[in-house]
Structure 1
Amino acid sequence: MMISQPQLLADVASPSASAPGTVPPAPDTTRRVRWIGDGTAHVLDCAPLADGGALGTYATFPIAGWTRQSSGDVAPDGNSAVHVTPTEVACVLADGTVRWRIALDEPARSSYARADCAFSLDGRQLWLYLPDAMLGRGADRWWVLDPADGSLLAGTTLPTVGQGAAHAMHPDGRQVILDLGEGQDGLYLFRGGVEGDRLVVEEYPWHDQGCAALAPDGRSFMTLNHEEDEISFWSFPEGQRRLSVTLDAFGPPVVPVRTDDDPEVEELARFGYHGGYVDDARAMVLIDDTGDMEEYRHFLVDVATGRPLTQLRIAATETPTLLGDGSWLSIGAGGGVARWTVPPLDPTR
């Protein structure tokens, strides 16, 4: 299989971690990418590829009280972030001011479980998953809050005992996929949307698919099975399987087997959790050959056929942030960010 060198579009050094107070508005055509890393909110402007793909304003601000069980998201305008812990949900502004806070009941059990939250694309809703069953606080809850004041817009309970979850926002701005894991007991995928004051939820009928990534056009989504040896592509919203790709399609693993003192041969290779859509036609999949989830091989796959197109020459420790427009971000150890794309591939190879 051919190996392709990604093309560097732009890079930017990490700014200082002091609170900027207010993040300036982004140009109308610029995409604002936000993420939280080690208790710091990051806000980065990315110009369209047609305009050269430059990286613009890069601002950060700290989030106080961040721990291993924290989760959060940054608002689309970059001027606030929501921080969720086992005992509270809080919205903090870029200058450090707490806009609002919701106290949660103390966990009745010391089990590990991690909440998740995500802003809607327009910033007018905050989606929140609370793993209350695992923490002994009743049923799991899925809420939609008003980010302005933390008031409840809609919500429901879920028939799960989740240890963690992740939200995937549909590009129509109205629908959301909740990817929920129960550890060794399985996986759930829910599709939700707000109608009036109700959260309307549909459950996909399989409990072995997770790690959902939505296509940029919203017409399909990608999953990884519970055994981590198969990637599947599905129609959205129907959930009809279009095709699946197994590890065999990518050739022999770098570390094929482990025997130790056990006569049973154990396959180590598995797909990584960090794959997704590079654009509507291509997906990136990561393969972990050692089972330690620290180093990967990166491949580009044709979404329509499942055919591996090329291996990408990307640092083994890299877990790219895919932007869905044909480019992705890599974040360096020092906090600097680089933006990459894939050069045209030779269709004859």
Structure 2
Amino acid sequence: MPLAQAGPPEITGLPGRWMLVQRNDEEIAAQPLDDAFVVRAGASVRFPAPWPRGRGTWEVAPDASLAVFAGVHAVRAVDPSGATRWEVRHGCWYGACREMHESYDEYADRQDHRYPESGSVGFSADGRLVWAHVRGPLSEGELSPDTADEWLVVDAADGRVLARADAEAAAAGSFHLPHPTDPHQMGLSIGEGQDGAPLRWGRWDGKELTVDCLDDDLCLLSLSPSGDRLMTVSHDQDSLAVRDSRGAVVEALDWDAEAVVPLHPDAPTDTDIDTDPDIDTDPDTDSDADEDELSVCWDWAGGFLDETTLVVSTVESDEEWGQGRHWLVDTTGTRGFTLVDYPSPVSGEPSVLGGGVWSTMSETRDVLHVWGLPGLAG
């Protein structure tokens, strides 16, 4: 799709079920890929969208049979014909609105609904469940009417709400990370803007949804192939950690960015910095920058390449000085942190795809490059 009308392409799904997907205001295009990231012949599918892409988030089922749209007023499942498979209505994601909208048309042209907050949806690894983070309440009560955000487990086939729980958050946005092998477990990373980043872990036993509130200041970025380990970055982007599913740091695998990552090699040295704000020694340079600007922070990106190897990045704090950097992290302690030496320049942050590989996007945001390590990528 032309980028003037669409978001950038993405590779989604777990190993063996990767898809190249892209969305514009009218539809989602999904192209299943083989293990060599080649489009499977005759497998491309398109899903008509019920509302513009700026009014929510979306997810495509692992078998590309269904797309689920998390909108301002409802979660809606759509098949390739454009028919609605099912819909779960909920409270409005525009913060000041207390209406239970019945359709997108009710607020499509309202200026106050142009930039709503949002929830998200995620398919379980087997595609049979949809986990949905929504603004409460649902159209039928069960939880307290004062509940701000709810977390639902929904039958992907017919839209039945199988379980629901208070997410104990008031989100500006969120995203799901499915357990790679257990469809009854899911991670939910919630963003509350400057207020925090609640991290939730859900377990559904077939009858009841149990939600563990792991932390209110962590972003969940990746799960290890076994699903036993979580990779997190703190809300302030200072700390990178590997944790268990209860939120505890595993074997002291917790790293402060400034302690383990050197400043960008093109960043100014201490002698280049004018620490007196009243003296401008060179008006054509950034010499007025104070020492607080010369810091390193983790990006909210990256993840597990295998059970003990991570790829992470410091692009956000690097880009002012030059090429953004990606790092390999050996959590066994054998090699520590290693700067990734790409054979050609890369742009932006890494997106881990599973199976020992990750992708980067071109500067024009219309091409994806997939990378792997010899002996690791499968």
Fold equivalence (TM over 0.5): yes
Match of 1:102 in 2: 88
Give the alignment of 1:10-49 within 5 angstroms: 30-33=16-19, 35-38=21-24, 40-47=28-35
In the alignment, what sits opposite 2:62?
76
Instruction: Note the aligned Cα RMSD (angstroms).
Output: 3.2
1:188 aligns with 2:218: no
TM-score for the superposition, normalised by structure 2? 0.72
Q: How does 1:191-270 map to 2 (within 5 A)?
A: 191-204=201-214, 206-237=215-246, 239-242=248-251, 243-248=253-258, 249-253=260-264, 254-255=266-267, 265-267=292-294, 269-270=296-297
Name the residue aligned to 2:374: 343
Report the alpha carbon displacement of residue 256 of structure 1 after superposing the two structures with TM.
5.6
Task: Report the Cα distance in structure 1 between the residues aligned to 2:116 and 2:313, rounded to whole angstroms.
Answer: 27
Q: Which has the higher helix share?
A: 2
Query: One-letter code of the match for 2:303?
Result: G
Residue 44 of structure 2 aligns to a residue whose secondary structure is strand
Question: In the alignment, what sits opposite 2:53?
Answer: 67
Structure 2 letter corresponding to 1:86: V
How many residues end up aligned between the 2 structures?
310
The alignment partner of 2:81 has SS state of coil
Letter in 1 for 2:121: C
Gaps of 5+ in 1: 1-13, 16-28, 48-52
Q: Deviation at 1:60? A: 4.6
Instruction: Label 1:112 to 1:216 Cα distance change in 2 as closer, same or farther (>3 A).
Output: same
TM-score by length of 1: 0.77
Bigger mean CA offset, 176-185 vs 297-306? 297-306
Aligned to 1:160: 169
CA contact (8 A) 1:210 1:224 kept: yes
CA distance in 2, matches of 1:325, 1:43: 19
- Asked whether 1:169 is paired with 2:178, we answer yes
- Percent identity, aligned pairs only, is 26
| 1:311 and 2:297 are equivalent in the alignment | no
Matched, 1:124 2:128: yes
Quote the Cα distance in structure 1 between the aligned partners of 2:300 and 2:67. Answer: 25
Contact 1:91 1:101 survives alignment (8 Å):
yes
Change over 3 Å in CA distance of 1:34–1:60 after alignment to 2:
same
Structure 2 counterpart SS, 1:180: strand
1:327 and 1:342 in contact (8 A); partners too: yes
Higher strand share: 1
Q: Does 1:143 align with 2:164?
A: no
Q: Which residue of 2 aligns with 1:298?
A: 326
> How far is the alpha carbon of 1:89 from its aligned partner?
1.6
Q: Which has the larger radius of gyration?
A: 2
What residue identity is the alignment partner of 2:46?
F
1:179 paired with 2:189, answer yes
Query: For 1:188-221, what per-residue CA distance to the aligned partner results, in whole angstroms no more than 9, with x for missing partners?
Result: 21111112332111111x3222133110112211
Name the stretch that deviates more: 68-77 or 301-310.
301-310
Show CA shifts across 1:275-307 (max 9, x none). 111222211101122578x97311111122281
Measure, in 1, the Cα distance between the counterparts of 2:296 and 2:24. Answer: 29
| Local SS of the residue matching 2:211 | strand
Is the CA contact (8 Å cut-off) linking 1:34 and 1:76 kept in structure 2? no
Superposition deviation, residue 88 in structure 1: 2.1
Distance 1:90 1:150 in 2: 9
2:352 matches 1:322: yes
Structure 1 residue 131: deviation in Å? 4.0
Deviation at 1:137, TM superposition (A): 7.7
Q: Are the counterparts in 2 of residues 36 and 73 from structure 1 also a CA contact under 8 Å?
A: no
- Give the Cα separation in 2 of the matches to 1:143 and 1:88: 12
Single out whichever of 276-285 and 99-108 deviates more from structure 2.
99-108
Unaligned runs of 5+ in 2: 3-14, 97-111, 138-144, 275-285
The residue matched to 2:30 in structure 1 has which SS?
A: strand
Q: Distance in 1 between matches of 2:345 and 2:45?
A: 25
Shift of 1:126: 0.3
Q: Deviations over 1:26-59 (max 9, x none)?
A: xxx9433364544524233232xxxxx3524162
Q: How far apart, CA to CA, are the structure 2 residues paired with 1:183 and 1:343?
A: 39
More displaced 10-residue stretch of structure 1: 97-106 or 142-151: 97-106
How far apart, in 2, do the equivalents of 1:265 and 1:238 lie?
30
DSSP-derived class of the 2:150 partner: strand
Post-superposition offset of 1:149: 2.0
Q: Note closer, same or farther for the CA distance 1:120–1:214 as it changes in structure 2 (3 Å cut).
A: same
Relative to 1, partners in 2 of residues 1:270 and 1:71: Cα closer, same or farther, differing over 3 Å?
same
Equivalent residue letter for 1:123: G
Aligned amino acid, residue 332 of structure 2: A
**Deviation per residue, 1:142-179 (Å, 9 max, x gap):** 01111222221100112222211121111222211111
Measure the CA separation in 1 of the matches of 2:213 and 2:292: 37
Q: Distance in 2 between matches of 1:63 and 1:296?
A: 37
Task: Return the structure number with greater relative CO, CA threshold 8 A, min gap 6.
Answer: 1
1:34·1:78 contact (CA, 8 Å) conserved in 2?
A: no
Structure 2 residue matching 1:216: 3-state secondary structure: coil
Question: Could you tell me how far 1:312 is from its partner in structure 2?
Answer: 3.6
**What letter corresponds to residue 359 of structure 2 in structure 1?**
L
**What letter is aligned with 2:164?**
G
